[in-house]
Each structure stands twice: as C-alpha cells, then as structure tokens.
Structure 1
Amino acid sequence: MTVQGFDPARLARIGAHFAAYVDDGRLPGWQVQVSRCGEVVYRAQHGWRDIEARQPVEDDTVFRIYSMTKPITSVAAMMLYEEGHFELTDPIARFIPAFADMQVLEGGTALKPATRPAAGPIRVQHLLNHTSGLTYGFHHIHVQDEMYRNAGYEWGVPKGKTLAQAVDDWARLPLRFDPGTRWNYSVATDVLGRLVEVVSGQSLDRFFQQRIFDPLGMKDTSFTVRGDLGQRLGALYLPDKDGKATRNDDFSNAARGEITFLSGGGGLLSTTADYHRFTQMLLRGGELDGARLLGSRTLRAMTRNTLPGGQDLVQFGIPLFAEVKYDGQGFGLGFSVVQDPVAAGTLGSVGEYTWGGAASTAFWVDPAEQITTIFMTQLLPSSTWPLRTQLRQMVYSALVD
C-alpha cells in the first residue's frame, strides 16, 4: 500500500541511511520531512541537538537555517514588487543611494585595486538572481573577496554593525563584474533585505513577522532566541580532521547574542514545521490556508531560470566550490531551478526549485510531482557530506506511482 504514491518501506531507507551519519559521529542529529500534495508522507529524526548535554532532536527543535533565509527575503521583496513599490529593472541606487556610481575591479591587489566605472547600475533583479557583482568574503577565490575580509566581512559582520551600515560598506567596495553579466553567490540578498526595509518603512524582522510569519503561522521563526527558542536551539558543529562532528561555540553563540545585523541572507532560526508552512505556501502558488502572500504568476516568474539564454550556473557563474553540482541548474528570483536533471546527475523534475543553508540544511519544492522536502541538521559547512544529493535520490526512488 502506497501513501500519496510513495512506498513506505522505501521511504524508511532514508532514516536508516542518515542514522548511520549520526551513529558514526559524522552528524550530531537530523530531522527530515517529505510531503506530497500537502500531506506529510514521511517524517523522521535521529540523534542529538546537543551531543554534550545529551539532548535529542525533537519535533520542535530550532535550527539555524542560514541561507534558507534567502527565499523568505526574496518572497518579501516580491510582495512589495506586487504592490508597485519598484520594478525589477529599477536601479537599487534609487532606494539606497550608496550604490550610485559603482566601480568594477580590473586588477591590482586588495590594498591597491585597479577599477573602472561599472557599465550599468545594479538593478533589483540582479539582487534576486545573484548577478549583481557583489560577493562573499568567505569565497577565497578573488581579490574582491579579500577586500571584503579586510573590511571585516567573512562569515559575518563586524560587531555592532547594522544592516544599513553593512550595506553602505559593501557599496564602497568594487564589484567583481558589470551587473548582469555573470552569476556570483553573494551578500546580494542582504542588500535585498535592506531594500525591503527602505521601501516598507519597517525593520526586516518586523516585516517578516507581520507580513509572512504571522499569516503563515510560522510561530518559531525568528532572528533572535526569543521565548523558549534558546532552550530548543541545537548546538552547531564542524567536522574535525577525522570527519567527526565537533562542537564550535564561536559560531554557535552568535545566534544567542545581541542581534544588530538583520541578515536577510542568512540570519533566521526556524523549525521543520515552520519551514514546511513556507514551502506549502510556495507549492500552492503563493497561498496557504487563506493567507495569500504572492500571486501565482509572480511565483512562477520567481521559479523560472532568469540567466541569459537559458544558461546554467556552470556556464554563467563564477566557479565556486559548492556542495552540489551546478550543471543543469539555473537560477530564478531567489531559488536555484533544475533545468536538466540528467546534467545535474540527480533524480528529480524539470522546474524543481531549491536552496540550502551553510549548516547543511536544505529544502526543495517540486511542482511537477507536488513534493516538498526539508532536511535539518547543524553541521558547518554544508559541503562536508553529500547529504542533499543522497536525500534526493532516496526520496525519488521511493516514489512508485
């Protein structure tokens, strides 16, 4: 007997497979949920949210979702787009003046860069699809990345900086390329979060709460450990030289301190249940239980490849070390989008859209099969183990209808 076309015995392989990651010490603990047509067909968890305290992963465990914040920020921006506050082709300098007259790196060193004026402005759509020319300091592949690190921006921001201050700092640094001409994963979604603040007149946390979390019933999603979230928040782990999960409180405690930087690119805490509410809204075309955040056509536009000429991330992107192959993957307005599952080397559907977080969390939405999948754990970085590809092959091989 199948459940929504899934073979329960085949789904059970998921738990057995990932339990081994905990039992041999590679992961602290994890939680996974698979849904089809809105019905949860598989949910499992194993291991510890805090190994040292022997606290298990539970139904309401809170996880740092890092870059799984990005789709939420992208939805927030597109809600404001639907209200006519801006067009996708608007230069962001219209709203954030520091981005006027941007420079592009031509050569030189981090201390003595050679630059030229950008051929055109950064536009809103460039923030949404990571073609802005901005970067992340943690890439370690270019002089531009070094300049971000020299300014204090690698895995976070200098202590006490606000979102507005950080965005102005980035605007003073040169771009890697002319906006719209390449793809490079970057702080662009944090800049997009600042755009949300400027346009809405609200702080990003307040906009999220009033316009997204409350309507969707996402009661445990937050930038801070308010209420009892701190007691339910998992510890953060990094692999040691033998691949064993080792606690790292330097990273872990950042979520427990005073939050001055509201990171739309990676700052949220959430639960599997809350993020399930978000993915169901996406799957249903922008609406859930009577709360409509986006129009269905807007969501379709967000989940189509926006890279010029239908190129994938390998063809159009800056080569980066990543946890999954970029072959056959395009990028929409806030999500990567599967263009060619064969090139991607994975089971799945054309049009499936997805993203993940630095601590090895991941989700995807498959409109063709009406599937949503969420995986939560707390191991940094996400490239440590092939969790996402293995989960995908096990979910789709359990589908037998």
Structure 2
Amino acid sequence: MSGLYDLLRRYVDDGTVPGAVALVARGGRTETVAAGTFEFGGGSPMREDTLFRLASITKPVMAAALLTLVDEGRLALDEPVKGWLPELAAPRVVRTPDAVLDDVVPARRDVTVEDLLTFRAGHGFPEDFSLPAVRQLFGTLQKSGLDPRYTPAPDEWMDRLSRIPMVRQPGEAWLYNTASDVQGVLAARVSGQPLPEFLAERVLEPLRMTDTAFWVPADRLARLPTFYRPGAEGVPEVMDPPGGQWSGPPAFPSGAGGLVSTARDWLAFARMLLAGGTAEGRRVLSEESVRRMTTDHLTPGQRASCGLFLEGQGWGYGGSVDVERVRPWNVPGRYGWVGGSGTSAHLVPADGTVTVLLTQMAMTGPTPPALMRDFWQLAAAA
C-alpha cells in the first residue's frame, strides 16, 4: 500500500514510537511493513515477525475460544455461569453506581455466558473510573493485562472478584474488560485445562498461530522489544524489558490482555473469522458463532453510555462492531479492537480487509493515538 511505510517512519522519526509493524490485507494481497527499532535510540531493527504484547486485542481470541465450548454444547449462551463459577452464584450490586461499597442489593438475575461475552456481566469499567466499586475493582484485580506479575492465580482471583460488588445489574450496561478475564477462568474450568493449554488446542494450533502465547520462551526473547509508556516531560519510561514480565508463565493468564503475538498470527485469526469459522478446510468455529461474535449486541442506550471507549461502535463478542460512520474508518460491520500497549486489529467482513498495527508504546487512555487513527485512515482510503 502506498504510504504505509512512510506513515510508520514519520512517527518513528518524531519520537512517538521507537518502532512499529503494520499489516493490511485485502483480497489476495497482504502488505506488512516494519519501521524503527526495538528500543528508543537503537537496538535491533523492527521486523515483520517481531513479537508484541497484544493487550486487549487478546479479547477477540479469548471470545472465540470460549465459543468453541458453546459449539460443542458444553455451554449455552443463556446458561447461568454459577454452575462453573460459584463465586458468582449470589452477586451483590451497589444500589446506585456511585454508592459506597456496603450499600448493596442482590443481583436481580444470574450472570449468563452471553453476559460475559457482551460485557454486560455487572463487573467492569464504566466511563467514570472514580466510582467506589470501580476503584476497588481496578486496584484489586485489573493489573493482569499490562503486568502479569501482580495478579493472583485464577481461583484466588475469582474469590477476590466475588467480594467486590457489581457496579451495575447483570445485563443492564456495557462495562469494559473484566468479563474477558472471567471468560478465561470459565473456559479453563469447563474444559478442565489451564487456559494456555485450552487456548492453544482450540484456536492457536488449528490456525498455526505458532508465535502466540501468554509468555515468550527463552529462544524467542530476542524478538520481543522493550515496552514503554510516555513519561514526564516527554521522556519515555520502560514498562517491561524483553526479559521481564512476559518471559515466564504468569500466575493468571489474562483472557483480557495477556497474549504476546505477531501481525501474521493475528491475520490468521482474522482470516478464520472471514471464512466463517474455517481455516485450511478445518472448522474452528461454527458460522453461527462467527456471526454472533461479529454482530453488535448493545442497545442504543448502552452504546451511548460508553462513549469513552466506543466511538460509533457497538460490541459483539470480544470486540467492537462499527454501527455508525463517525469517522472515515468506521465501516459498518468492521470488527476488532485496540490494546492499551499500542496495538489494534480489525477485519471488515464486507470486503475481507484486515488491518493490524502493533507498537510497543502504551496508550495514555481509551482514545486511540494519532498513529493508530492515521493508520486506519490510510487503510480506509486505499
């Protein structure tokens, strides 16, 4: 694609990112470009097979893995999850979103599998991060996506979650992030396998996503760049070196944001969805699961209440679905998501387009940074 390398080079040269990899696939053509280096000021040159911390573009992969259990009949979308997650058998909900933590009422109904997939399970982040229940949730549990060292093992994590009141009633509102981590615990318990093994068996191995995992083995660490966040006075701070947090198995494999992968691997995942759930003649997901995964399930009111995260978008399973053309890149039906580590990945069922952008510079908030928006704009224009 004309200009793709130039776009990355511009943001490398102005110091926004040390390096990046971008991929655009459409029809029978795929273009992948790499620019910059593994570190600010030097290091190895960025490569097309560089490994990146995916952060929240892990979420679609997690949702697809859980849906394999629905396809097998081992779970139903309308099934209460309390049979597998007894920690959610009798949840409490704050009386109003801004209520103090002990001002609670019982949940009006059980949390279902589909509540988890649509992010309407009662736990998660609304637009206001200052709410008492949200502060406790964030401070107690939600470090796994960008720092797996400080998150407890799944059983303890669920026990802690059960002690935090929900911020909204089940089914009532879209709340970000937490439900994907609960999906991971649910999949592990239903399958009887640790989440890394389950995910590999159901999704990664059938799609030959050989570089995707919850940690990077020693023989591949040379392909993992340093991870940064913006620091004071514009000086980047190191969040994670290559031999750091992702160099060994985490206690809590995060379905919300724990995977490391490459642009090529995410393309393989996207192509499976575009093919209706098949890859190389092998069925990974049913056509119905793919359809539901890439269809918006939110009401207009629910979409309107989460504008901090969603811009002209609804939510399918594990990712957003464009429903309005708010920006030139908001193509109706476009499915995918962004990651707090500076990543994004989308597919457009209507024309088979796949776009993946991977950087190692953390986002400062839910609003996509300029590089990401310019990448989407360029891909849409082409």
Q: State the TM-score, normalizing by the size of structure 1.
A: 0.87
Question: Aligned residues: percent identity?
Answer: 30
CA deviation vs aligned residue, 1:179-218 (integer Å, no higher than 9, x gap): 1111110211110011111111111100111221111111
Q: Is the counterpart of residue 27 in structure 1 residue 11 in structure 2?
A: no
Kindly tell me: are residues 170 and 95 of structure 1, through their superposed partners in 2, closer, same or farther at Cα, counting changes over 3 Å? Answer: same
Which residue type is aligned with residue 338 of structure 1?
Answer: D
Q: 1:391 aligns with which of 375, 379, 382?
A: 375
Q: Is the counterpart of residue 288 in structure 1 residue 270 in structure 2?
A: no
Aligned with 2:206: secondary structure? helix
Aligned with 2:94: secondary structure? strand
CA deviation vs aligned residue, 1:123-182 (integer Å, no higher than 9, x gap): 111111111111259973311122124535446567461122212211221001101111
Instruction: Note if contact 1:104-1:115 (Cα within 8 Å) is conserved in structure 2.
Output: yes
* Higher mean C-alpha deviation, range 215-224 or range 151-160: 151-160
Q: Is the counterpart of residue 39 in structure 1 residue 26 in structure 2?
A: no
Using the TM superposition, give the Cα deviation of residue 395 of structure 1 relative to its aligned residue in structure 2, in angstroms.
Answer: 0.9
Aligned with 1:33: secondary structure? strand
Instruction: Note if contact 1:26-1:245 (Cα within 8 Å) is conserved in structure 2.
Output: no
Which residue type is aligned with residue 209 of structure 1?
Answer: A
Q: Is the counterpart of residue 142 in structure 1 residue 131 in structure 2?
A: yes
Q: Is the counterpart of residue 51 in structure 1 residue 40 in structure 2?
A: yes
Q: 1:164 aligns with which of 151, 155, 158?
A: 155
Q: Which residue of 2 aligns with 1:377?
A: 359
Aligned with 1:253: secondary structure? coil
Aligned with 1:54: secondary structure? strand
CA distance in structure 2 between the partners assigned to 1:18 and 1:59 by the alignment: 13
Which residue type is aligned with residue 44 of structure 1?
Answer: V
Q: Which residue of 1 aligns with 2:313?
A: 329
Q: Which residue of 2 aligns with 1:6?
A: none
Instruction: Note if contact 1:286-1:299 (Cα within 8 Å) is conserved in structure 2.
Output: yes
Instruction: Note if contact 1:135-1:176 (Cα within 8 Å) is conserved in structure 2.
Output: yes
Instruction: Note if contact 1:135-1:185 (Cα within 8 Å) is conserved in structure 2.
Output: yes
Q: 2:108 aligns with which of 95, 99, 119?
A: 119
Using the TM superposition, give the Cα deviation of residue 263 of structure 1 relative to its aligned residue in structure 2, in angstroms.
Answer: 0.7
Kindly tell me: are residues 329 and 256 of structure 1, through their superposed partners in 2, closer, same or farther at Cα, counting changes over 3 Å? Answer: same
Q: Is the counterpart of residue 279 in structure 1 residue 263 in structure 2?
A: no
Which residue type is aligned with residue 194 of structure 1?
Answer: V
The runs of 5 or more residues in structure 1 that have no matched partner are 1-10
Q: Is the counterpart of residue 357 in structure 1 residue 344 in structure 2?
A: no
CA distance in structure 1 between the partners assigned to 2:178 and 2:97 by the alignment: 23
CA deviation vs aligned residue, 1:230-275 (integer Å, no higher than 9, x gap): 1211110111244454433389822124511111111110011111
Using the TM superposition, give the Cα deviation of residue 370 of structure 1 relative to its aligned residue in structure 2, in angstroms.
Answer: 1.2
Using the TM superposition, give the Cα deviation of residue 45 of structure 1 relative to its aligned residue in structure 2, in angstroms.
Answer: 1.1
CA distance in structure 2 between the partners assigned to 1:152 and 1:214 by the alignment: 29
Q: Which residue of 2 aligns with 1:347?
A: 329
Q: Which residue of 2 aligns with 1:71?
A: 60
Q: Is the counterpart of residue 80 in structure 1 residue 69 in structure 2?
A: yes
Which residue type is aligned with residue 33 of structure 1?
Answer: L
* Higher mean C-alpha deviation, range 68-77 or range 345-354: 345-354
Q: Which residue of 2 aligns with 1:16?
A: 6
Q: Is the counterpart of residue 228 in structure 1 residue 219 in structure 2?
A: yes
Kindly tell me: are residues 133 and 35 of structure 1, through their superposed partners in 2, closer, same or farther at Cα, counting changes over 3 Å? Answer: same
Which residue type is aligned with residue 65 of structure 1?
Answer: L
Aligned with 2:356: secondary structure? strand
Aligned with 1:354: secondary structure? strand
CA distance in structure 1 between the partners assigned to 2:36 and 2:247 by the alignment: 22
Kindly tell me: are residues 13 and 162 of structure 1, through their superposed partners in 2, closer, same or farther at Cα, counting changes over 3 Å? Answer: same
CA deviation vs aligned residue, 1:20-57 (integer Å, no higher than 9, x gap): 111111111000111112531x2211011233552111
CA distance in structure 1 between the partners assigned to 2:73 and 2:116 by the alignment: 18
Instruction: Note if contact 2:101-2:133 (Cα within 8 Å) is conserved in structure 1.
Output: no
Q: Which residue of 2 aligns with 1:197?
A: 188
* Equivalent residues, number: 378
Aligned with 1:392: secondary structure? helix
CA deviation vs aligned residue, 1:64-107 (integer Å, no higher than 9, x gap): 00111111110011111000011111111121111011111125
CA distance in structure 1 between the partners assigned to 2:322 and 2:222 by the alignment: 37
Q: Which residue of 1 aligns with 2:245?
A: 254
Kindly tell me: are residues 95 and 306 of structure 1, through their superposed partners in 2, closer, same or farther at Cα, counting changes over 3 Å? Answer: same
The runs of 5 or more residues in structure 2 that have no matched partner are none
Q: Which residue of 1 aligns with 2:85?
A: 96
Instruction: Note if contact 1:26-1:243 (Cα within 8 Å) is conserved in structure 2.
Output: no
Using the TM superposition, give the Cα deviation of residue 396 of structure 1 relative to its aligned residue in structure 2, in angstroms.
Answer: 1.6
CA distance in structure 1 between the partners assigned to 2:343 and 2:142 by the alignment: 23
Q: 1:131 aligns with which of 120, 129, 151?
A: 120
Using the TM superposition, give the Cα deviation of residue 384 of structure 1 relative to its aligned residue in structure 2, in angstroms.
Answer: 6.7
